A = this chain, B = another copy of it.
């Protein structure tokens, strides 16, 4: 059994944006010695998220609108209140939005390729950018 660890850092440009990282993950898997197994991808952050969905401009706008509807940025969150928190980023909304989406993905590798359906893409949601974000990837399996 082989375990292959790597990480990479992405720079985001907007406060809230969704990036397609499928190609990056495919390249990491091709560099690994694993042909059949698991790829585990974790963000090392509390205000960004990883998930699988379709990457379409219209749908990305809908996702942003949906997250804004679910968690208002300007509600009186205690995490944003200097009397209760030493957080200077005013990013309670980003923490709560990250809860909904999740911080990791566990994907199957078969024949050296990540297993995805026709419309599935590996997406990273920046929720409090712009910032540098580190993803750690562990690939686990047999050659």
Residues of A participating in the B interface, judged by any CB pair closer than 8 Å: 1, 3, 5, 36-38, 40, 42-46, 51-54, 56-59, 61-63, 65-66, 70-71, 77-79, 81, 84-85, 87, 92, 95-96, 98-108, 110, 115-120, 134, 136, 138, 140-142
The prevalent SS among residues of A at the interface is: mixed
Copies in the complex: 3
| Nearest neighbor of A119 in chain B, beta-carbon distance | B46
Most buried by B among A44, A45, A66, A110: A66
- The contact of A78 among B62, B81, B141, by CB within 8 Å, is B62
| Nearest neighbor of A111 in chain B, beta-carbon distance | B5
Q: Which residues of B contact A53 (CB under 8 A)?
A: 46, 95, 98-99, 103
